[in-house]
Amino acid sequence: MEQKKILNLLKSVKSGEVSPEDAMLQLKKEPFEDVGYAKIDHHRGLRHGINEVIFGEGKTTEQIIGIMSAMIERGQKNIMVTRISKKKASKIQSKLPEMHYDPVSRIGICNKENTPSPHGLIVVAAAGTSDIPVAEEAAVTAETLGNNVERLYDVGVAGLHRLLNNLDVIMKARVVVVVAGMEGALASVVGGLVACPVIAVPASVGYGANFGGLSALLTMLNACSGNVSVVNIDNGFCAGYISSLINHIGD
């Protein structure tokens, strides 16, 4: 239950429109909803400021539709489901036609309502074109959570002048998300250029010795720039989520 709804409920109790017993019943029903295959955390937005996000990979179409429908019924906004294929998204849209689907980030959004923060910029930088799907997962997540996002793609260290040509952009950022596969060096380079937090995302892009992103992960964990933090391999969602939390500090 959102803070505004709880406040309205308490005001209704105070005015006598709702009995304390009925209010207690509503609050008991609110923390989570058990639909058998999932316990939907309706209080996530109250605790975190961000609603529960559905991880779509591994869930059936019917399960995703059921969870999203329950959240829609509670009036939740910007309901996100991550890691869904175009085929699965199409099946979901047959039941929930209002869902917007982005095939690059593989994110679906229902009850979309973007209200970007009036200040603060998140820059999402991708080393190569092959890193864009993970970068878009971060960018779309951050945008959905109410942030202004600027993208810098194909600015890896193999052509460092491409990054240096955009210094004015990255230096305006409150947070920079860096997505890189291969050896993952871009995060440390960006960290040395900016005064803000850098969230590094190792991508599973590269030849055999990349070990599915492990080489980039180890490089990023060993970054000499003290402002670099690292999330899991290909976890663009987590990077976008954390960057939003940082950008909204003080709002």
Report, as an integer, the average pLDDT of 222-237: 93
Give the pLDDT score at 3. Answer: 61
Looking at per-residue pLDDT, the higher value among 177 and 110 belongs to 177
User: How would residue 82 be classed by pLDDT, with cut points 50, 70 and 90?
Assistant: very high
What is the distance between the alpha carbons of residues 108 and 88, in angstroms, rounded to a whole number? 10
SS3 202: strand
Report, as an integer, the average pLDDT of 175-189: 93
Which tokens belong to 59? 């869930």
Report, as an integer, the average pLDDT of 187-195: 93
**For all residues of the chain together, what is the average pLDDT?**
86
Report, as an integer, the average pLDDT of 60-83: 88
Per DSSP, 248 falls in state: T
pLDDT > 90: percent of the chain: 53
Residue-wise pLDDT for 122-181, tens only, equals 999 999 999 999 999 999 999 999 899 999 999 988 888 888 888 989 999 999 999 999
pLDDT > 70: percent of the chain: 87
Give the pLDDT score at 118. Answer: 67
Answer for the pair 70, 33: CB distance below 8 angstroms, yes or no: yes
User: Crossing angle of helices 236-247/132-144, nearest 10°?
Assistant: 40
pTM for the whole thing? 0.82
Looking at per-residue pLDDT, the higher value among 116 and 239 belongs to 239
Which of 75-84, 97-106, 160-169 has the largest mean confidence?
97-106
Per-residue pLDDT for 92 more than 70? yes
Looking at per-residue pLDDT, the higher value among 107 and 43 belongs to 107
What is the distance between the alpha carbons of residues 224 and 229, in angstroms, rounded to a whole number? 11
Residue-wise pLDDT for 33-68, tens only, equals 656 666 666 667 666 677 788 899 989 999 999 988
Give the pLDDT score at 119. Answer: 76
User: How would residue 117 be classed by pLDDT, with cut points 50, 70 and 90?
Assistant: low
CB-based contacts of 154: which residues, under 8 Å, 6+ apart? 126, 127, 128, 129, 162
Q: How far is CA 71 from the centre of its chain?
A: 18
Per-residue pLDDT for 86 more than 90? yes
Measured CA distances, 211 to 201, 208, 238 (Å)? 15, 6, 21
Domains of the chain: 3-7+16-110 (no CATH), 121-247 (3.40.50.1970)
